């Protein structure tokens, strides 16, 4: 099943996940301990990054539009030898994003290296993985604990709670984009914490022992509500991820609407905030956090 066979009935899911766990070294043994080890590694490595305080406007500013893009002929196995990684799928709602990539040395390969002692020269190639994250001002993050820590440091708990409610309400808008993509093979990814597990489950993905699974389905079972946009000329290179995120200029009408609905104060407080009206653009040093 882990070789790419599809799952077409709910009772097959447990069997499929068990089979994946049997065939992946990173998923054997004490998974809880391994996830904790990997999560600490993420927190320590990503936590060292220093970010400028974003404007309050950018914090409540969504993407300018939803997107759902897939690379041309993503199942071509030979092209991975020419490129270290390929982004095969990208989609976003107002604040959430998801991508699927294939690469030689990857997140789960890193897990094998850290958790199983597998030399990187022997890591399995042509591995698929996914990441789900959220827009935080001009930045893109995936680790809930660090997101909370940074927003609270920038603006305090009240603003964080308002922002959290806003993006939580938007999460349901990402669900159709998860359903729209049928991965070439079964994929798994270590969840950062229980919050990450809940996010994955709310999107229709399966979780077990702190690991999220995106299982391949039979084509007859696909019920997509959206149409994937195939980007021509990407069969070898894959998608240009940063261009998928699009321009990051502040969209004030949407931003003000979000602040009126979710913001911790009135609009006058928002406008008078010295950071609220700072303009940011695609030329700013927006950081995309690596998996």
User: Could you give the CA distance from residue 138 to residue 209 in angstroms, rounded to a whole number?
Assistant: 33
User: Could you give the CA distance from residue 140 to residue 148 in angstroms, rounded to a whole number?
Assistant: 13
**Which residues have CB under 8 Å from 153's CB, separation 6+?**
none
SS3 call for 229: strand
For the chain, helix, strand, coil in percent to 5 are: 45, 20, 40
Q: What is the DSSP pairing of strand 187-190 with strand 139-141? A: unpaired
- CA 24-28-33 angle, 5° bins: 125
What is the chain's pLDDT, residue by residue, as a tens digit (291 residues)?
A: 344 445 555 568 888 888 877 777 666 667 777 777 777 776 777 777 788 898 888 899 998 889 999 988 755 454 555 556 788 999 999 999 999 988 765 444 455 555 455 455 544 556 788 999 999 998 888 889 889 999 999 999 999 999 999 999 999 999 999 999 999 888 888 888 889 999 999 999 999 888 899 999 876 666 777 888 999 888 777 888 888 876 555 567 788 888 888 888 877 777 767 565 554 343 333 333 333
């Amino acid at each position: 099943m882990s070789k790419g066979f599809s799952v077409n009935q709910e009772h097959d899911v447990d069997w499929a996940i068990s089979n994946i766990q049997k065939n992946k070294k990173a998923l054997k043994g004490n998974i809880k301990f391994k996830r904790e080890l990997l999560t600490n590694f993420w927190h320590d490595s990503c936590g060292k990054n220093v970010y400028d305080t974003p404007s309050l406007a950018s914090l409540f500013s969504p993407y300018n539009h939803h997107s759902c893009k897939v690379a041309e002929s993503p199942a071509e196995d030979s092209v991975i030898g020419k490129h270290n990684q390929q982004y095969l799928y990208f989609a976003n709602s107002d604040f959430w994003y998801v991508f699927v990539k294939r690469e030689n040395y990857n997140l789960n390969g890193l897990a094998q290296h850290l958790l199983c002692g597998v030399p990187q020269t022997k890591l399995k190639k042509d591995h698929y993985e996914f990441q789900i994250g959220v827009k935080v001002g001009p930045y893109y993050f995936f680790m809930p604990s660090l997101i909370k820590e940074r927003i609270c440091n920038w603006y305090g708990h009240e603003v964080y709670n308002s922002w959290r409610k806003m993006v939580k309400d938007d999460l349901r808008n990402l669900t159709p984009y998860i359903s729209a993509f049928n991965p070439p093979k079964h994929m798994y990814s270590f969840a950062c914490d229980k919050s990450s597990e809940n996010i994955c489950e709310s999107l229709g993905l399966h979780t077990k022992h702190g690991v999220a699974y995106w299982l391949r389905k039979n084509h007859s079972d696909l019920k997509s509500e959206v149409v994937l946009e195939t980007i021509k000329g990407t069969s070898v290179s894959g998608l240009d991820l940063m261009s998928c995120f699009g321009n990051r200029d502040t969209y004030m009408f949407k931003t003000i609407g979000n602040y009126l609905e979710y913001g911790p104060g009135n609009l006058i407080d928002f406008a008078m905030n010295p950071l609220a009206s700072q303009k940011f653009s695609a030329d700013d040093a927006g950081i995309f956090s690596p998996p």
